[in-house]
Amino acid sequence: MVEVRDLTKYYSDVRIINRLYFTIPQNSVSGIIGPNGAGKSTLIKIISGFENQTSGDVLINNKIVNDFDDKKKYISYMPEFMLLYPDYFVKEFLDFFHKQINYKDDELMDFLGLKSVFDKKISHLSKGWHQRLKLYTSLAMNRDIIILDEPFDGFDPLQMNDILKIFDLKKDKTFILSIHQLSQAQKICDYFVLLDNGNLISYGSIEELKEKFNCSSDLLEDIFIKALKKDG
């Protein structure tokens, strides 16, 4: 379980995150949703330890964990931008990676189809394949909480259907995703954290949000628009 308690972040005098409180249940898939500049990336960087909050706490399993080295025992984080060693062949990179983490997830490698691109140089991979490799590195670290920033960029709709099964494969993990496509988010996530301009609009399951904002539509997009209007 991940809990965010009174979390605030300032860059100089600019407030990016404003006193956020929410809880992400264990073994769930939660999406952090919001327009550009809502503070999604900053929030997940703070949760994963790559940024410091100005005030407030992040709790994991009811314990305050704010130090980066402590957080990385529980959390693996995949940033939106990361170009894995372009000069390496896929196999070469994975050999190095497995030695570093002392773990190899053959099932996951098979699921992602990585073995078929072993002989390819990473710089020659398409965006979708590179994204699979990135996903593998985050999931294979075998941490309880997996934070992914825009994990489905570069996948075509056909690939997407396959990739989404990954959440069934890793049911014992807690996923926190930052996704800008709301239709995708609705397909994947059990819970949603709605952000706007650094403020928490609401959080909960689609049913809870629908009821809260008195929305007749089942689409997350409609609920979100209604929530933004109500908040604004």
Partner 1 sequence: MVNLLKKELKDFFKSRLSLIYFSLLFLIIVYSFYSAVDLYSKASINAIDNPLYATGFEPIAGVFVPTFGGFFIIISLMLPFVLVQFIYKEKKYNTIVLVSQFPLSLFKIYLVKIISSILIIILSLLVFSPLFVIWNNLGGHLVFKELSLLLSGYFLYSLFVIGVSFFSISVFKTSAQASIFSLSIIMFSWFVDFGKEMNISSIIKKINILSITSHLKRFEDSILSFQSVFYFILLFTFFVSLGYLFLKFSEKKRILKILIILIIHFILFYFVFSFDMKYDLSESLKNSFSVSKNRFLKEIPKLRIKVYLRPTDSRYRDYENDFLKKLRMVKSDVEIRFADEDELKKNYGLFEYELNGKKTTTYSNSEEEIFMVLEEISNKKILKDKEKSLYKGYPLVVKGKWYISLYLIYFLIFPLILIFIYYKLNYSYRRLKNEN
Report the residue number, 91 or 187, with the smaller CB distance to partner 1. 91
Q: Measured from the CB of residue 85, what is the shortest distance to partner 1 in angstroms? A: 6
Q: Tell me whether residue 95 or residue 190 sits nearer to partner 1 (CB atom).
A: 95
3-class secondary structure per residue, the chain: CEEEEEEEEEECCEEEEEEEEEEECCCCEEEEECCCCCCHHHHHHHHHCCCCCCEEEEEECCEECCCHHHHCCCEEEECCCCCCCCCCEHHHHHHHHHHHHCCCCHHHHHHHCHHHHCCCEHHHCCHHHHHHHHHHHHHHCCCCEEEEECCCCCCCHHHHHHHCCHHHHCCCCEEEEECCCHHHHHHHCCEEEEEECCEEEEEECHHHHHHHCCCCCCCHHHHHHHHHHHHC
Q: In terms of CB distance, is 100 or 183 closer to partner 1? A: 100
By C-beta, is 77 or 213 nearer to partner 1?
77
| Nearest distance, CB of residue 222 and partner 1, angstroms | 35
Cβ(40)–Cβ(197) below 8 Å: no
Comparing CB distances to partner 1, the nearer of 99 and 165 is 99
CB of 123 to partner 1, least distance (A): 11
Binding-site ranges for partner 1 (CB under 8 A) = 49-52, 68-69, 72, 76-77, 79, 81-89, 91-92, 96, 99-102, 118-120, 137, 141
CB of 117 to partner 1, least distance (A): 11
